[in-house]
Amino acid sequence: MPGSVPAADPGRRKAVAMGRGDSTRSLGDPEAALLDALFGQSPVGLHLLDAELRIARVNAATPAMRGVRMEDVLGRPFEEVCLPLLVDGPAVASLVRGVLESGRSVVGHVVEANGSAAASLGRFYEMSAFRLQAPSGETLGVALTVVDVSEREGGRARAAVLNAVREQVGRSLDVVVTCQELVDTLVPSFADVAVVEVVDAVVRGEEPRPSPLALDVPLRRAAFRSTGDTGAETPQAHALGDVRSLPFPTPYTQALSDLRPRVVALDDDLPWLAADPDRREAIRASGAHTLLTAPLTVRGTVLGLVSLYRTRYPVPFDEADADLVVQLADHTALCLDNARRYTREHTIAATVQRNLLPRHSPSRTALETEHLLVPAEGVGQWYDTIALSGARTALVVGTVAGSGIHTATLMGQLGTVIRSLSAFELQPDELLARLQGTVATLAAERAGLPPTDPLHHQVLAADCAYAVHDPLNRTLTVAGAGSPALTLVRPDGTAWALALELSSGSPLGTPDRTPFAASRFEVPDDSLVVLSTHPLPAPEAVGRSPGTDLLRAHADHSLADLRDAVLYALPAESRAAPAAVLFARTRAFPAESVATWQLQSTPTAAAAARRHVRRQLTAWSVDDETAFHTELIASELVTNAVRYGKPPLELRLVRDRTLTCELRDAGVAAPHLRHAGPGDEGGRGLFIVGELADDWGVRYSDDGKTIWTEQTLHAT
């Protein structure tokens, strides 16, 4: 029976006698009295073990003595009495035996109580042990002290959880990823099941609603995790990504209403479970015994809700855990708000950038185009195709360093400047020089911002390539800022990577302003032109041009198929490099849509020009009003060229999307639009031209200038 002392066990009889003490002896022996008082009054658990690690004396403050009589434990082996109460009993037994054998003391060793007893749930004890020796050196046994440090260890565990959340949550500027980081950190160290639900508008980056949250506001289940699995087979009330409002009334809606956490002991008799049958079934199937739910709020607005459950972990949540979850929720809510703001800015920037780009590649009579944007973090890409006079087309690709709305705005500014400068018929190198001046002005404005403005420290840098395709002369004129690449595949299959032949200037915005230079190439009809801001790497032998074999193999495919083939062929590491690429296939301009005449620089040249124009427009079935206007335009242009220009004179009509009338002469004097007075006999030529034409301009070349006009063609 427990408490009986077998006669054959003299060691235990001796230990029982020592444990009971002798009051008579104690009254006459001060040292013994002090020892008895220590064991009777110490708040610290004390053990005396003999040389065979049997309990020789123990006090009531020892955890093993709770609800146990002294006679039941004295003389019994330490392992038999105490170790079943500990989670890692064998390790503690080995530790105590090592102290007995080696004499090396153990101080402050923390052990966890076995949770089989309700009174021991979540208890931690700090144990110290040292060997007892007689003056003669004989080993008498081991002395143990045991202190309940559950509160201290619980605080440490909670602090560790809080530190882990602060380190692990918020590393990504993505709302859903941030929610998943939270549940991954809390399970299994703090909870067995964790669920995060976020207001659906927050996931899209929209501004959250102020508290209290309306009952009809939908929440998205953003993250879920449970102990010991990935969540695939764990019962859930709703699947990840599910969007719905919470049933009312429940602890979840109450927490979102008053913004206070809730600790709820779960059982089948709770009335609020009937309001949410799906959640009730999931709770019952998981075996959860405690719920802790808290709102995710920042600056008085509700972002979502975190719900934690304990199933396998025997200790229920308490108010200290609720205080901890409030701190975790505050940190997570701040990270979610940062991610929401980034999502909103990224969405706005992406929308602005998307609206800045051409919706569709415009159709040209002599040119077909497709584009490829290889996105990369911290760089914005854009492209453009601009219709120019004389059936020509400008091809533009560019990248801007940075990200966000400011980068998208800068891309829009540069694109607008390029389109405006292209209207002045500038050569590509001249256009980039003017663009460099604009970028320098924008950089100066950025440098003038307050130092606290993040944009003040952001370098303004951009790369750009500008090319002009002339189908009538079958040429391509290119200039670049940065390191543009040009690849040309001719109809016979020969491919030329012309990146090394491009005379490129320094990137836009850099202090080193290398002069820009234009390069001109002959481009036969049915050729393939690939223009990019940076050379595209390709898995080919060293020394070969990037992608030429691939381009030759797909030269006869559609440009859309070619674009996809180039993207798929890029090495994985190269897809992180930013690039804006334009694919263009040249076509022959219809010969019957162009008429050219050489004119003599004589007073009769204007009359000859009118006859040529009348005859050609009649052949093209142009309506009478447009034909009459074109005769006047040609007459005035020729008259001005005879008077102020230099021979030879060349008149050309081009019928494309518009009707273009061009007059080229060898002079370089710029024509000016004048407003003649009532008594002036001249000075009205360009004024008449400007009134009759929809648009007009001048472009210069190495051998002179060309004055052109454009008119809309009407159906006859």
Give 545-574 as a DSSP string.
PTTHHHHHHTTTS-HHHHHHHHHHHS-GGG
- Please, which residues have CB within 8 angstroms of residue 531's CB and are 6 or more apart in sequence? 395, 397, 465, 467, 478, 484, 485, 486, 581, 582, 584
Residue that the structure tokens 């003040």 belong to: 456
Amino acid present at 209: R
Over residues 515-519, the mean pLDDT reads 87
- Cut 0.85: pTM above it: no
- Answer yes or no: is pLDDT of 361 > 90: no
The secondary structure element, H or E, covering residue 481 is strand 475-481
Per the model's pLDDT, the better-predicted residue between 186 and 363 turns out to be 186
Angle between helices 405-422 and 319-356 (to 10 degrees): 0
Residue 543 is predicted with a pLDDT of 36
Q: Sign of dihedral through CA atoms 207, 210, 214, 219?
A: positive
Give 125-146 as a DSSP string.
EEEEEEEEE-TTS-EEEEEEEE
* Residue-wise burial string across 450-465, b where 16 or more C-beta atoms lie within 10 A, e elsewhere: eeeeeeeebebbbbbb
Residue 278 is predicted with a pLDDT of 84
Residue 547 is predicted with a pLDDT of 58
Amino acid present at 560: A
Distance CA 251, CA 294 (A): 9
- Please, which residues have CB within 8 angstroms of residue 270's CB and are 6 or more apart in sequence? 264
Residue 184 — pLDDT band, cuts 50, 70, 90? Answer: very high
Please tell me the total number of residues recorded for the chain in this structure.
716
Mean pLDDT over each residue of the chain, to the nearest integer:
81
Domains of the chain (ranges, CATH numbers): 10-148 (3.30.450.20), 154-345 (3.30.450.40), 359-586 (3.60.40.10), 591-711 (3.30.565.10)
pLDDT in tens, 229-265: 544 456 788 888 888 888 888 899 889 888 899 999 8
Which percentage of the chain shows pLDDT scores above 70? Answer: 84
* Residue-wise burial string across 352-362, b where 16 or more C-beta atoms lie within 10 A, e elsewhere: bbeebeeeebe
What count of other Cβ atoms lies within 10 Å of the Cβ of residue 267?
A: 10
Distances, alpha carbon 281 to alpha carbons 35, 192, 212, 247, in Å: 59, 17, 28, 15
Instruction: Report the alpha-carbon angle 122-125-131, nearest 5.
Output: 155
Q: Could you check whether the bond before residue 218 is cis, i.e. omega within 30 degrees of 0?
A: no
Residue 612 — pLDDT band, cuts 50, 70, 90? Answer: very high
pLDDT in tens, 447-485: 888 887 777 777 788 889 999 999 999 999 999 988 888
What count of other Cβ atoms lies within 10 Å of the Cβ of residue 341?
A: 13
pLDDT in tens, 546-556: 456 777 777 77
- Please, which residues have CB within 8 angstroms of residue 23's CB and are 6 or more apart in sequence? none
- Answer yes or no: is pLDDT of 677 > 60: no
Residue of 159, 101, 160, 108 lying closest to 129 (CA atoms): 108
Residue 497 is predicted with a pLDDT of 67
Residue 213 is predicted with a pLDDT of 79
Q: Could you check whether the bond before residue 208 is cis, i.e. omega within 30 degrees of 0?
A: no
Beta bridge partners of residue 531, listed in sequence order? 486, 582
Residue 707 is predicted with a pLDDT of 92
Over residues 374-400, the mean pLDDT reads 86
Q: What φ, ψ does residue 370 adopt, rounded to 5°?
A: -140, 160
Rg (CA), the chain: 44
pLDDT in tens, 615-656: 999 999 999 999 999 999 999 999 989 988 899 999 999 998
- Answer yes or no: is pLDDT of 3 > 70: no
Maximum average pLDDT range among 34-38, 90-94, 478-482: 478-482
Per the model's pLDDT, the better-predicted residue between 189 and 23 turns out to be 189
Q: What is the DSSP letter of 599?
A: E
Per the model's pLDDT, the better-predicted residue between 5 and 599 turns out to be 599
- Please, which residues have CB within 8 angstroms of residue 704's CB and are 6 or more apart in sequence? 645, 646, 664, 665, 666, 667, 668
Residue 411 is predicted with a pLDDT of 86
Distance CA 488, CA 553 (A): 13
Residue 231 is predicted with a pLDDT of 43
Structure tokens at 369: 């185009």
Per the model's pLDDT, the better-predicted residue between 358 and 48 turns out to be 48
